[in-house]
Amino acid sequence: MEKNLGKKTSMGLDENVAGALCYVLGFITGIIFFVMEKDSKFVKFHAVQSIATFLPLMILGWIISSLFWTFTMMWLVGILSTLLFVIELVLWIILILKAYQGEMYKLPIVGDIAEKQAQQ
């Protein structure tokens, strides 16, 4: 697999740095880099993967936290919220590190979506 180290983006950043930055603020930086990057398929891939990973997880978190108000088993909501937080944190760290190392690390399902979108 080819590593994307030292190549520059249309924004003047190294591709691996821009790829890692796509994840720093979750889907927000994903959207920013998706809109701003014109040339790099590597950065586009990581931007789309960031959006497709962290936006649904945030929405799922909202749904789980809203159950707190309507669900009588609050302990279950607490466990689910904690589990979701741990999953998000682990994914966040792994994806930043892989992108910084120059890898197009694909998550299941969203990685395929990101790859197709980056090719367009």
* The total number of structural domains that make up the chain: 1
Residue 74 CB contacts under 8 Å (≥ 6 apart), including other chains? 68
Confidence of residue 116 (pLDDT cuts 50, 70, 90): very high
Least confident of 44-53, 57-66, 82-91: 57-66
In a domain, 117, yes or no: no
Classify residue 61: in a domain, yes or no: yes
**Does some domain include residue 114?**
no
7 assigned to some structural domain: no
Q: What is the pLDDT of residues 68-103, one digit of tens each?
A: 666 667 778 888 889 999 999 999 999 999 999 999
6 in a structural domain? no
* Residue 118 within a domain: no
The reply to whether 32 falls in a domain is yes
Domain span at residue 48?
Answer: 15-107
| Predicted TM-score of the model (pTM) | 0.88
Long-range contacts of 79-85 (CB under 8 A, 24+ apart): 84/57, 84/60, 85/61
Q: Does residue 43 lie within any of the structural domains?
A: yes
